[in-house]
């Protein structure tokens, strides 16, 4: 019988950490845009193409996730915790997809140019409408705050499992390849300890 996968695929791990860096950068830029107007135009010129890049990568990441084998959650997580983890991941994927689209629609409704780089512009996806612009602007702000809360909850859960529970959940996503420990091997299908636990259930 094949052993269980202990990590996400290398491509998934690289996508994860690349997007994590991009999202952190985007959040910092968003805070800076609200806190200070001194460098607003420079920050916006970074914010727009970065948001589109996140939109493209989240679609790639979601499709790849559906086609790739996933490592199981640690045994320390109850069924309820696993459902919460799955729901929070789905929420993060949804927000990373919706936020750039709302931003794109917001700029389209105001007929602001959506510059990616130099002469490369994105076409508007909504008709010009000042009321629609303000509605989407408000929605963008609310969704951004929701994403920050979701991100902090995700980060806090990982820290809790890594530092307190110490169940190795972070090893599933670290960029480097993790070798199996003796304890991990005992938990895999085919081992005597694994069979004993299954029989005991």
Give the tens place of pLDDT for each residue, 77-129.
Answer: 999 999 999 999 999 999 999 999 999 999 999 988 888 887 888 999 999 99
Residue 161 inside a domain? The answer is yes
The reply to whether 190 falls in a domain is no
Distance of CA 158 to the CA centre of its chain: 13
b/e map 162-191, b = 16+ CB within 10 Å: eeeeeebbebbbeeeeeeeeeebeebeeee
Model pLDDT, residue 183: 46
Is 164 part of a structural domain of the chain? yes
Residue 33 is assigned to a structural domain of this protein: yes
Quote the number of domains for the chain.
Answer: 1
On whether residue 167 sits in a domain, the answer given is: yes
Residue 1: the pLDDT is: 42
At residue 181, the pLDDT reads 57
Q: Which domain holds residue 94?
A: 10-176
pLDDT score, position 3: 54
DSSP state of 21: H
Query: Do the domain assignments include residue 165?
Result: yes
In a domain, 192, yes or no: no
Beta bridge partners of 115: 121
pLDDT of residue 42: 85
Residues of the chain with pLDDT under 70: 1-4, 180-201
- The structure tokens 């602001």 sit at 112
Whether residue 184 is contained in a domain is answered as no
Cα 51 from Cα 100, distance rounded (Å):
5
What's residue 77's pLDDT? 92
Residue 36 pLDDT: 73
Predicted pLDDT of residue 188: 44
């Amino acid at each position: 019988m094949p052993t269980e996968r202990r990590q996400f695929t290398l491509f998934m791990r690289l996508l994860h950490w690349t997007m994590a860096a991009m999202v952190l950068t985007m959040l910092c830029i968003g805070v800076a845009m609200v806190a200070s107007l001194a460098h607003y135009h420079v920050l916006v010129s970074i914010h727009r193409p970065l948001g589109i890049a996140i939109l493209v990568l989240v679609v790639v990441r979601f499709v790849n996730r559906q086609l790739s084998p996933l490592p199981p959650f640690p045994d320390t997580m109850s069924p309820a915790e696993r459902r919460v983890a799955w729901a929070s991941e789905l929420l993060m994927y949804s927000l990373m997809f919706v936020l750039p689209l709302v931003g794109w629609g917001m700029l389209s409704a105001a007929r602001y140019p959506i510059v990616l780089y130099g002469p490369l512009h994105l076409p508007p996806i909504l008709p010009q409408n000042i009321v629609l612009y303000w509605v989407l602007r408000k929605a963008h702000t609310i969704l951004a705050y929701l994403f920050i809360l979701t991100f902090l909850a995700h980060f806090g859960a990982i820290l809790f499992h890594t530092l307190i529970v110490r169940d190795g959940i972070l090893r599933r996503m670290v960029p480097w390849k993790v070798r199996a420990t003796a304890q991990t091997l005992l938990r895999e299908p085919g081992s005597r300890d694994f069979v004993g636990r299954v029989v005991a259930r």
